[in-house]
Amino acid sequence: MSRRASGLRAWFLQRASAIYLLLFILYVLQHMVLDAPNDFAAWRGWVAQPLVGLGLLLFFASLLLHAWVGIRDVLIDYVHPTAIRVTILTLIGFALIGCALWVLQIIFLAS
């Protein structure tokens, strides 16, 4: 990836992920209003549907990506010493990857 894309790519991904997050949240909200699962089995059944599972995976991928770009932006703005910035970015990177693995585990155990 060229250096140019590191600005443009992050900016574009932030916006694209935001749109997906909004659409998926709207879908989940309407599902919760119209057809809310009322027990654990119903929840599992809902998540186990291939399309819902895929949608959820994309949702969390977008969420983590969106969080990564946003946190990176905040750090670039406010945290100037390189060592501190790299340390925080690394810790947050690991935390986000941990969240991603956790999400995968939950979704694949359900289906």
Partner 1 sequence: MKFSVYRYNPDTDDEPYMQGFEVELRQGMMLRDALLAIREQDESFTFRHSCGEGVCGSDGVNVNGSNKLACITPLTELKEPVVVRPFPGRPVVRDLVVDMSQFYTRYKQVDPWLIRKEPMPEREILQSPEERDKLDGLYECIMCGCCSTSCPSFWWNPDKFLGPQALLSACRFLADSRDQAGEERLDKLEGPYKLFRCHTIMNCVEACPKGLNPTKAIGHIKAIMLKDAI
Report 46-75 residues binding partner 1 (CB under 8 A).
Answer: 72-73
The CB-of-71 to partner 1 minimum distance in angstroms stands at 13
Q: Does 7 bind partner 1 (CB under 8 A)?
A: yes
Q: Which tokens is 89 given? A: 């970015």
- Cα 50 off chain centre by: 19
Give the binding range for partner 1 (CB under 8 A) out of 1-9, 18-26, 30-38, 41-49. Answer: 1-9
- The H or E element containing residue 33 is helix 3-34
Rounded CA separation 6/26 (Å): 30
Which of 25, 29, 76, 97 is close enough to bind partner 1 by CB under 8 A? Answer: 76
Between 8 and 25, CB nearer to partner 1: 8
∠ CA 58-40-52 to the nearest 5 degrees? 20
Binding residues for partner 1, rule: CB under 8 A, are 2-8, 10-12, 72-73, 76-78
